[in-house]
């Protein structure tokens, strides 16, 4: 049971960090990119949000897979 609590806490911490990253992206990065790339118009924020979400998901799953993977065991 103790290991499950640790994994749950780790996932909660990763979610918290992901929320901070998304907030920073929404407040600073997206408005800057909309100003830099005005030709894309209203679609810019959707494209950037989708790309950021995809990158963030890959990062979180990669960290989770690395931390919970089998260690020192042959396949």
Angle, CA of 15, 18 and 24, to the nearest 5°: 145
Question: Which pLDDT score is estimated for 44?
Answer: 65
Q: What is the residue range of 16's domain?
A: 2-68
Question: What number is the average pLDDT over the span 42-70?
Answer: 77
For the CA atoms of 2, 63, 73, 3, the dihedral, rounded to the nearest 10 degrees, stands at: 0
Mean of all residue pLDDT scores within the chain: 76
| 54 within some domain | yes
| 74 within some domain | no
| 73 within some domain | no
pLDDT, tens only, 41-55: 667 667 777 777 788
Q: How many domains would you assign to the chain?
A: 1
Residues whose CB falls within 8 Å of the CB of residue 15, separated by 6 or more in sequence, listed in order? 60
Report the share of the chain in percent with pLDDT over 90.
0
pTM for the model: 0.49
Q: Where are the alpha helices (DSSP H) in the chain?
A: 2-24, 30-36, 43-68
């Amino acid at each position: 049971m103790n290991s499950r609590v640790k994994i749950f806490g780790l996932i909660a911490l990763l979610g918290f960090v992901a929320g901070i990253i998304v907030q920073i992206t929404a407040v600073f990065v997206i408005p800057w990119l909309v100003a830099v790339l005005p030709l894309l118009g209203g679609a810019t924020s959707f494209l950037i949000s989708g790309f950021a979400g995809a990158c963030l998901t890959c990062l979180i799953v990669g960290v989770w897979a690395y931390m919970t993977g089998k260690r020192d065991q042959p396949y």
